[in-house]
Amino acid sequence: MILAFDTFYFNDKARTIAIQFDDWEDEEETLVHEELYTGIQEYVPGAFYKRELPCILDLLKKINLQDCEAIIIDGFVILDDQDKLGLGGYLYESLDKQIPLIGVGKNNFVPIKHNKRLVYRGESKKPLYITALGIDLDVAADFIHKMHGDYRMPDLLKKADSLGRH
C-alpha cells in the first residue's frame, strides 16, 4: 500500500485526503480516506508543518499502516542540504522512521542543491521537486516519474488535490 496525502485549507477548516493505491503505476486508487477539521491554526512562516502535521497524523490513526510501503506528501520532506526537516521530515519522525516519506514539491522555494531530484514528466518543461527520507532519493524520484499520467503531475496526486478542494 502507498498513501498520497494532500490538505486543502479554507477559513479555519482543513480537508485532508489520503489516496491509497497498491503499485506505483496504478491508474486508480484502491481507497480514499478523508477528514474535515475545524479550528485550524493560521499559517506561520517557517512552521508550516505545525498546521498540517496534526491533520495528517489524525487521519493516519484511522488507517492500518502495517503494509504501508511509502507515504507521499504535497511539499518537501527536507528543506536544505543539512537535512532541516520539512512537513514530511516531521511526519517521518512521528512515524518512528518506519515508513519512507517522499515529498513532491511543485515550486522550488527551498535552498537544496544535493538532497532533491528534479523529475520531468510528460511534455512539461517544469519539473517536480522530489525530496525523501527512509528511501534512496533516486529510487523515490523514479517512483514518482513512473506514476500513471501523461502530464507533469501524476494522476493520483492530482486526484488527491482535486478531492481536497471539493
The SS3 assignment for 156 reads: helix
C-alpha 22/C-alpha 115 separation (Å) is 27
Look at residue 16 and tell me whether its pLDDT is greater than 70.
yes
Region 2-165: CATH code = 3.30.2170.10
Query: Which pLDDT value is given to residue 166?
Result: 72
Say what the pTM is: 0.95
Q: Which of 55-59, 96-100, 160-164 has the lowest mean pLDDT?
A: 160-164
What are the extents of the domains in the chain? 2-165
Q: With cut-offs at 50, 70 and 90, classify the pLDDT of residue 23.
A: very high
Q: How many CA atoms lie within 13 Å of 7's alpha carbon, on the beta-carbon side?
A: 25
Would you say how long the chain is, in residues? 166
Average pLDDT over every residue of 92-120: 94
Per-residue pLDDT tens digits for 49-63: 878 999 999 999 999
